[in-house]
A and B are shown apart, each in its own frame.
Chain A
Amino acid sequence: MSIDLSRFHAVFFSESLEQLDAMEAELLKPDIESASAESINTIFRAAHSVKGGSATFGFTHIAGLTHVLETILDEVRSGKRPLDRDLVDLLLESVDCLRDLLRAGRDGGSPDETAVNSLQSRLNALVSGEPTAPAVATETDEQSGAREWIIRFRPHRHLLQRGNDPYRLLRELGDLGDMVVTSGLDQLPAFDALDPEECFLEWRIELRTERPQADIQEIFEWVEHDCDLEIEAVEASPEAPAAQPEPQAAPAPASAPQAPQVTDAGVGAHGSIRVDVDKIDQLVNLVGELIITESRLVSLLGTDAAGEMTAVGQALENLSRNIRDLQESALQMRMVPVSFAFHRLPRLVRDVARELGKEVVIEIRGEQTEVDKGMLENISDPLIHLVRNAVDHGIEMPEVRKQAGKPGRATIDVRAFHQGGNVVIEVTDDGKGLDPDLIRKKAEEKGLLREEGELSDADALNLIFSPGFSTAEQVSDISGRGVGLDVVRQNIQKLGGRVHLESKVGKGTRFTIAVPLTLSIIEGQLVRIGQSAFVVPVLSIVESVRFDPGQFRTVAGEDRLYRFRDGVIPLLELGKSWDLEHGEKTDEQMVVIVEWGRDMYGLLVDRLLDQQQIVLKSLEENFRRVSGLAGATILGDGAVALILDIGSLGVLIGDRRRHQRRRREREDEA
């Protein structure tokens, strides 16, 4: 059998990494010491499937490590070994180590051999040393403990097509003890009728092992619906009748029968395949093309058969509906649950809290909320930053908390949900909160206060998003790595999202991130400037007001300002700055007020057009970045419209104003 296994490696790596994540998630549950049989089973199953895969693909390090883990977990499962803090730490360390090994295997790097060996020997020591009684018993009582089993394993024909390898199962059985295998060839057809993808063989296995029946059954766990399996004890030793029901009577069985059911439902209801993201993007692009062609067809037909509902018209309408459904399904494929961004958080909180001597639990809700994969990758880092910040700066030491009448153990609540076309993620801590007075003072020291006069509390809080601002008394190793909240805010804004902050002194702080569901589709406001249509992302828009020349002011002949609410905001006339060909002047001119960072500014447009979902396309793919533009999109008629980059236009305005201020200052001096 010389099948090239390497093409399955990618799947093995990603699945194993997921198993490790699942294992870690269970281990990090706050009440793990008194964990339910179900949690331990989950951990055990994860270790087991990593072991199975790594043995198949010949990753001996991983297989060796998981094998010992399995032994330890089995002891935990059967109540022979308590799951204490130290063991949890050791297991977590093993998860890290396995992850390194998997990544090294995947990326072709070399793992840290000494770390692996040290861990392996510590695990081995644990297995053979600590629970002296059972280990010694198995060593010496091998004769009396060992029993003989006869296993009849008749795979169904489609076993191989399900990705199972009988040879691997037999090899695993061999690990349990001594065995004699006889192959049954009765079903084997004549050579010309042989379908190589079907399994015609069956086996009779005589196995001598001291391991319980459950261990044998477990090997067949993944194939039990694809084969006929009989496991029979041959020679009943005196304690056999007692031993046999044991697996059913021990605490494990309560969940044991459930386990296969769960897997069953999982396979049946949520079968999944892994597809390259590029392929999906290609599909989304093609659907986009379909939509454009379809709207052209509609407009062509519209002129010919105006008013009358022809058969062609009806068919076209059906087609349109199908295409929209197709688009939705295609876009849906890029959606993944936010849990992928959340799963690193519990570990992070645990490690940071431990390091600082704080007690923190994290509660995660809404992890099934779906978001575009590309978006997810981009919110992951800001999210980690916020959570790390919360543990580091937000939450007090346990003694301080108790003095303030709060429980010593702090809670960080992370919640995700959909709101409109956005995904909202809230990070709430019950720590000390932000003190607006302290922030004002700090900002004054750092010279961050630009305007004179009173700053409202809300505005003061927002100062912490300014570059170079840190309220921590000292820059700690954990959060003070030079990346501040200003970067978090900018990253979120780059995604077309917003960050919002609420805080109460003594009560806690809540950061709210709102981002569009996907990076590739945004809600866009179409505007006309001159002859061209541009798109303004709706999330950036504060308000649109009718342009009133009376509110328009020019300061010192330079600054173009517009009166809005109680103050004035800069007004950007792209028609002039970009020298766009002017259409007829209308009295429909509007000012679209947009928000960037802490600032607002207005965009003067000739007309507001539709608001619609637009597919964001990169200009860089075939051209290059153009300052002031975030990309382009294709409108229903096939024409290209450019998307305004509110961020970079805002930066330009800032530069312009600084420029003018400097110039005025120089003039004043002169």
Chain B
Amino acid sequence: MSRDEFAVEERSKEVVDDALQHLTFVLGKETYAVDILCVEEIKSGETVTPIPRTPDYIKGVINLRGAIVPVVDLRERFNIVPSSQRPVDVVIILNIEGKDGRRTVGAIVDDVADVVGFSEDSIKPSPDLGSKISTQFIHGIVTVDDQVIIALNHNRLFSLEELSRLDDVEAMAEEDGDSED
């Protein structure tokens, strides 16, 4: 990282108005961040009702004040080994803007870390180095207090297409019938 770039980052950190607040959380060994404006709340100890015939990483649905909200285990989604085997999962409830309108989705993470502010300018494009999460879901990489944080594109991560993916067991007929026709 060049001296100039560093200077830019320093400056932007000082201008508080430019800084967008982000919620950071832990998946495995890495720290991730989402725009705090899309975070509705953080819950734990929810009873999750599994939904048959959906991908494993969709843990099921919970009751969020009367609304039925799907819950995705981000660790399973990206094959990340959980950092802790805590019995209680932390669920971050997020509001997603999609093509088909606004939806609410829960994300299971290892732990919620902090709220940090950084500006849009300080987010660097993600170098494709071995992160478990495909670059299409990553907004970029940002360094705050020597800690590397991966900023996620939550709208894409929880898009409807994403939630419907891997749902190859659509019809029972296929499962029970023969596959030749």
Contacts and interface: CB of A to CB of B under 8 A. Distances in A.
Interface residues of B, number: 32
A400 to B, nearest CB: 48
A632 B68 contact: yes
A591 interface: no
B34 to A, nearest CB: 17
Contacts of A314: none
B155 interface: no
Given A618-B68, A662-B181, A623 B61 contact: yes
A331 to B, nearest CB: 14
Contact of B66 (A288, A578, A628): A288
A617 B67 contact: yes
B39 interface: no
B125 interface: no
Interface string A655-670: 1100110110000000
Main secondary structure of the interface of A (DSSP, over half): mixed
A505 to B, nearest CB: 40
Contact of B63 (A619, A623, A638): A638
B172 A656 contact: yes
A634 to B, nearest CB: 5
A532 interface: yes
B106 to A, nearest CB: 9
A652 B171 contact: yes
Given A622-B105, A623-B70, A628 B177 contact: no
B66 A634 contact: yes
Interface residues of A, number: 38
Nearest to B176: A656
B99 interface: no
B54 A626 contact: yes
Contact of A627 (B61, B69, B170): B170
B110 to A, nearest CB: 23
B178 interface: yes
Interface stretch (B3-11, B20-28, B43-51, B136-144): B43-51
A333 interface: no
B171 A655 contact: yes
A660 B176 CA distance: 8
Contacts of A638: 47, 63
26 contacts: A285-B65, A285-B67, A532-B50, A558-B176, A577-B175, A580-B52, A617-B66, A619-B51, A621-B68, A622-B67, A622-B70, A622-B104, A623-B70, A627-B53, A628-B52, A631-B68, A638-B63, A639-B47, A640-B47, A640-B49, A642-B49, A642-B52, A655-B171, A655-B172, A656-B172, A656-B177
Interface of A: 285-286, 288-289, 292, 532, 558, 574, 577-580, 617-619, 621-624, 626-629, 631-632, 634, 638-642, 652, 655-656, 659-660, 662-663
Given A628-B172, A642-B49, 11 more contacts: A577-B175, A579-B52, A622-B103, A623-B69, A626-B51, A642-B51, A655-B171, A655-B172, A656-B172, A659-B178, A660-B176
